[in-house]
Amino acid sequence: MVDAAIDSGINLFDTADIYGGGQSEEYLGRAIKGRRDKVLIATKFGMKMGEGKEGGKPAYIRQAVEDSLRRLDTDHIDLYQIHKADPATPIGDTLGALTDLVKAGKVREIGCSNFSAQQLGEAAKVQGAHFASVQNEYSMLHREPEAEVLPECQHLGIAFLPYFPLANGLLTGKYRKGQPFPKSSRAEDGFGPKVFTNENLALVDALRQFAESRDHTLLELAVSWLASKPVIASIIAGAKTPEQVKANASSVNWRLTEADLATVNGILAPVK
């Protein structure tokens, strides 16, 4: 998977300490061994890793970064992100510890995930290193960030990294209204009731028809639509096979015109 990504021109790999209980970082570290200078590693901390191992307290951050560096088998992390806000710790304390890591060369840039516009604004007022990015859920079928977070990113000069850009696979084009879910799909695995509604499937069908009328796939439309947003620096897309990696990488080659965007946004008008 990593080989396919690098061969396709992808150089940003996003993971977190909590994924697989640390195994995701370990596997990524092994996969990039000998070519660390060719990739950018983004990882996250803050979710519960064990008793007393969570949040944004300085002492824990110092421990968490060393654990991640060891698992990744590297001497620095390109983008170190707090996975979610910690209401029990002042953001100034968290940013102070992260600033120290940047000064020590263990971290190049810092970011956050699952932050609101208000939380981004509060963090921006703190002296020291500032968040370079925020990673929140965003797709054509989940447009909540447009209300406040995207404008705040534009105002503060923070990059936005959308996760779940394909709405748990709904925007890959393999789901059709009235047809059974494909085997080993996210829908079959239990995401169905929440995401795979008749309303969403009808929207997906309209989007698929538009994409095909332009000789493109629904996946290409979903990713290119996100890439057209000025504050979006990269798109966090998962994959299960090397073929999916290659499809994700090539999907941004479609440059949507203003007319294309107007048509798509008209189709998406019902999405709150």
Residue 187 domain-assigned?
no
pLDDT value at position 180? Answer: 60
Say whether pLDDT at 136 is over 70: yes
Residue 200 domain-assigned?
no
pLDDT value at position 198? Answer: 85
Say whether pLDDT at 185 is over 60: no
Instruction: Please report how many Cα atoms fall inside a 13 Å half-sphere around the Cα of residue 43, on the Cβ side.
Output: 30
Q: Structurally, how many domains does the chain consist of?
A: 1
pLDDT value at position 189? Answer: 53
pLDDT tens digits for range 65-107? 999 999 999 999 999 999 999 999 999 999 999 999 999 999 9
Rg (the chain; Cα; Å): 19
Q: Which of 24-28, 50-54, 260-264 shows the lowest mean pLDDT across its residues?
A: 50-54
Residue 172 domain-assigned?
no
Parent domain of 27: 2-137
Residue 261 domain-assigned?
no
Count how many residues are written for the chain.
Answer: 272
Q: Which residues are catalytic?
A: 19
Confidence of residue 174 (pLDDT cuts 50, 70, 90): confident
Say whether pLDDT at 42 is over 80: yes
Say whether pLDDT at 192 is over 80: no
Percent share of the chain, pLDDT over 90:
85
**Nearby residues of 262 by Cβ (< 8 Å), 6 or more positions away:** none
Average pLDDT, the chain: 93
Nearest Cα residue to 114 out of 58, 75, 71, 163: 163
pLDDT value at position 149? Answer: 98
Residue 43 domain-assigned?
yes
Q: Which two tokens stand for residue 136?
A: 């929140």
CA distances from 75 to 29, 129, 133, 181 (A): 11, 20, 21, 43
What average pLDDT does this structure show over 102-117? 98
Residue 177 domain-assigned?
no
User: What residue type is 95 in one-letter code?
Assistant: L
Residue 241 domain-assigned?
no
In eight-state DSSP terms, residue 68 is H
Residue 76 domain-assigned?
yes
pLDDT value at position 233? Answer: 96
CA pseudo-torsion sign 113, 116, 119, 120: positive
CATH number at residue 86: 3.20.20.100
